[in-house]
Structure formats: C-alpha cells, structure tokens
Structure 1
Amino acid sequence: MTGSDPARSTPRGVRSAQVRTDVILEPDDAQRLANLNGPFDAHLRQIELRLGIEIRNRGNRYQLVGGPRDVSAAEAVINRLFNQTLDDTVTTEHVHLALAEQGAGENSGEDAASAGFHDEVVIRTKRGVVRGRSPQQKAYLKAIASHDLNFGVGPAGTGKTYLAVASAVQALERDRVRRLVLVRPAVEAGEKLGFLPGDMAEKINPYLRPLYDALYEMLGFEKVARLVEKSVIEVAPLAFMRGRTLNESFVILDEAQNTSVEQMKMFLTRIGFGSVAVVTGDLTQIDLPRHQVSGLKHALSVLHGVPGISFTHFRKEDVVRHPLVQAIVHAYEEYERREPPATSR
C-alpha cells in the first residue's frame, strides 16, 4: 500500500524535485521487519546511500523521500526484500543484488528497453534457478539463447562466465547439445608456469579452476566428475583446441582478452554444426606482453556488424559481487582515463 505527494522540504543530502511516498508492509510482523531493516537499520541505510534518498521508518510504515525514479526503485526493492523475509534471512548481499536487479540509480531504462529484457530468460538447472539481475545480464542470456556466437565483454564480477556456464548446463540437460567444452588460455600473469609443481596438466589446472567452480555449483562435484570422466564435459587450455571441429557442443572461451589474434581466429574456426560458442573477457585485464595485440580486442573490431553474432558490453553498474568491487572498477576506470597507458594493445 503506497501514497505519494511532493515533499514540502528538501531533506539533507537528498536531490531536488522530490516526492514523498508511504509504503505499508503487511502483515505487520516484527521479526520479518527486523530482518528487512537489518542490524541497526543497516539495510535501509544501504538503500539510502545507493539511491540518494531518505527512508523514515516506524513499525511497518516506511516513508521514502527523494527523486521520483529513485523513490520508485526503493519501493520496489523494499517490497522485494520483504517478500524474501518470508523464508530467508536478508543480508547486505541480498540488498545489493536487489538494487542491481532494479537498475538502481542508473539510467538503464533505454538499454533495458532496447535489449527487450522484459522477455526474461530464466536458466533452470537441477541445482536451482539462475536469472539475469541487471538489464545487460538479461540481454546477455537472451542473446546466448538466440545466437550461435556470443561475446560478453566487461569488468570482473558482472557474471559473464557464470551466466555462460549456466546457459551451457541448461543446454546439456535439455539435450540441445551433447557436450560442454570450457576453454581458457594459460597465460602467465606475472608468475612463471615452470616454477609451479607437477606435470603440465597440474601446472595448467589452476587456470581452469573458475570454470570448475561454476560447474560444481550448478551440477554438484560428483556429477561433474562423472561427466568429465565420460568426456561429456571437457575443461581444457586453449592450445588443446587446435585442429579440432566441435559439433553439437556448447563451447565457452573464458579470459579471451589473453588470447593472441592467431589463437582467437583458431578458436572461432573450431565451431561446428549445432554448436553454440560464448567468448568472455575483460579488456582492462590483459596479461599479454605489451607488444602483443589482444585477440579479443582484435575480434571485436573485425567481427563488428557480422550477422548472427551478438555482442554484450557490461559496465561497472552490472557488477553483482561485493559493492566494493563496483567502486574498485570505477576507480580504475577513472585512473586510466586520466593516465592512459603508454602502449595500447
């Protein structure tokens, strides 16, 4: 239940052109309301800081004061989190994700409309449901479902790899593909492979760990082990793809910013009939030698405008990890804007 009227005064720290909206949550359950508010109203303060609004609370009545769009976003977030208190404990992470899914504080309306994100793609696996949280994530899932080759490019924490793996698992479970092939370039990021213990397979395995982690979360450790043993799932370094043709497969190339131009061309020409390929990467984290051009950066230029290929570009607003990650990405973007690198790759 809500009601609104223009604010008579401007609360400190709140933007101009404000409205005042009352939100009444039912039932008036003290335990659920305390869960929603968080310790010492920490969750309400988190919403205030993110949206630049003021929240006044007494019992089950919440008064929201701020810009019309921000107040509307806060109302949606509060109602969503209150529904969640019915069977879950609300955490700061839940608040952050609810704000991100709402597109809180960002001018994402046009992007969302152009991406058609209202036609939401929901990934259902045997271990749970995965859905896009930001408009770009929803557009990304929709693109993967409708294109044979997809590029997901953007900063860390935007769900590029996780959503691609979720799409791959669903395709496998629905018999749309016969196997999953997850690939990463084994590029040294300041460390030398030769100093790692073990044989070549053991040296490379740490580079593939993020892909295994996503598979374990969605399928469980034992099932992943069985499928790997049967070669239904293959997790391998990029170099092992040379000379192969991958039919009826869901292929993911992760950390693609660390491929050379030749490696990227080699990978893209492995795609066979009935296959789907997703290429993910972050152009701000290239570990190649400074004189070497990133295969991902080169491919984005070469393939732009080619029919049948989708390109999803994530921004810092799409980060769904700890809120501090978003601030770190923004800080690096600002620094690089002021101090451009000496050598462009």
Structure 2
Amino acid sequence: AIQQGLVAYLATRILLGICLGGYIPASLYSITMWYKKSETSTRFFIFFMGNSVARASSGLVAFGLLRMRGAAGLAGWKWLMIIDGLTAILVGLLSALLFPGTPFSSLKSLSYIARQRVVIDDPTTLQKRHSVTFEDVISTLTNWAIYPHLLIALLGNAPANAISAYDPTIINSFGYERLTSNALNSVGSWIQLFLNPAFGYLADRLRMRGLSMMIGTRNVLITYLIVVDNPSKDVRYAVLTLALSFVGVWHPINGSWVALDARNAEQRSIIMAVYIMIANCAGTVGGPLFSENDAPMYCRAWTICVALLSAALFCGVLAHIQYYFLNRWAMRKEIDNESEGSSASVDEGGSAARR
C-alpha cells in the first residue's frame, strides 16, 4: 500500500513469493504426520477450504473496501492491501503460537494416541528421520510415478488460476457492472465450500482417489465447453459459477494421492514441495490466457482452457492405469514373499503401504 513505482512493486512481489513459498507444502506435510492415509484427502480438502473462504469473501470484502476510496486520502485498493496485510500478520502470529508440531515431538497424552494410530496405519512413520539429502532429492525425482500427478497440477491449475484471477473481468464482459461482478464472482467459491469436503470424504471413504479426481476434472471441462460460445449472459454466468464450484475439487485429491505414494517422510516432504512449486508455476502459464484482445467472448482463452484440462484428464487416466499395474505387481510380490513374512501393497489411492 505504501510502495511507489514499478521497481518497488516488483520487489514487494518477490518478497511476498519468498515468504509464501514454504507454508503450503509444510502444512500439507504436517497433515500427513497427524492423520491416517484413509483420512488424508479429507484433511487436504479442509486445508484448501481456507483458500475457498478467502476467494468467496474477497469479492464481498473488495465490494465494500473499494468504496472507501478517498478515506484518509488513500485509494480504495490501498485500504484493501492494508487490511489484508494486517490480517495476514495476525494469523501468522497466532499460527506460530498455536501450531502443534508433530505427534512425535510432544509428550502429551493426546499426541501419544495420535502417534499410535498413525504408526499402526503406516509403520514407516517410525523410521528415523534425518535432514533431506541430495540422494533423497534424486530418489524422489527419479520416481516416475509422481510425474502424471505433477502434469495434472500444471495442466489443471493453469486454466483454474487464470479463471480465478480474471473471473470479475470475465463476469464484467458478460454485461454486469464492475462492482457487481466483484460480488458475483464469490458465489462459486461459496458452493465450493460444500463440494470440496464431500469429494474429499468420498475419496477417503471409497479409496477411489483417481476416480473422484477425474469426475471433478470432467465436470469443470464440461462447463468450459458450454461457456465458450453461449450467447446468453445469464447462462454464461451460471455455467461459470459451476466451473468455479468444481475448479478446486480435484487439486487436493491429486495432492493427497501423490503424497501417499512417498516411501518415507523425507520423500513426502520433497514431493509436497515440488508439487506446490508446479502448481504455482501453473499461474505463470495461465496468467496471459484471458487477454484484452480476446474480449469479450474470450473464445481463444476458453479453447486453450479446454485443451489444457483435457490433457490433465488424460494424465489422470494415466495415473489411474499406472496404479492398477502397480497393484498387480505388489500382489504378486506379496505372494512371493509370504513365506518370508513380508508383504507390499499399493492401494488405488496411490499409497505404497509396507507392512
């Protein structure tokens, strides 16, 4: 809010990126330490619900704060930045004071119970932890099974980020007033608050993460196909709202899917970091999609979104197939090693469980 000029703006954006870079993968990694594999997708969804709440409320908050232009001699967008920044600082301080760490770093009885239920579900959590080494990084990056998930994160998030960033502009292009567009763009995010935990629960309950993710991706793809050339502004807004409702459904499932495939805690932390890096890179890909020279119908942008999401859906099918064959390989290995008292299995959700 106090910056002046392009250089100050870019420096602030870089600093913001540095500060934000680690909290999402670290948070997701912490979730995997506290919950069983059958609970991970639901918890990932609850975590990402914070983002949905922010998107849902941001339009309404902006609708009010932008009307403060001129108060104390400040522009409306500066008031928006000041209040947003102060809120972030407060939440950061509370998180530092209240964050529980891991079940293995506390002596409380509740942590003992949490530790035992996690260990029974996945005995690899008892492995001695050490700092991440270069060998851990190489071992993780040479695991070919993670790459369909990374491609899904890149290809699926590119159009999602573009639409989420430009949805007020897109709604405005339908014929709605600018401030009204800011308020209307929040509707899809409010619906998402109910859809996301429902999909996460089904993914965990049915142990069908691949199918749940592909259903969510397919629904978004259908809405993109409808909105691209419909002449009615009300129909286009309704379909765009449906797209925004499903746009984040598949992302937490994909994240939990690849996290559960990690062989140990070190690999899981690397996978989460790489996964979020790729998801953030999708913003760079999707940023220029909705350009001014494509307005007001944005036919080119919607066509690219359909192509990217179709490729993401194909990668989801590929990931589903790869785990099908890994399941069969694990079952054969379990039979072969039964006499030695060891077994291995990979569930449909992508987790490698070694007992």
Tell me the TM-score normalized by structure 1. 0.23
- Greater relative CO (CA pairs within 8 A, separation 6+): 2
By percentage of residues, which structure has more helix?
2
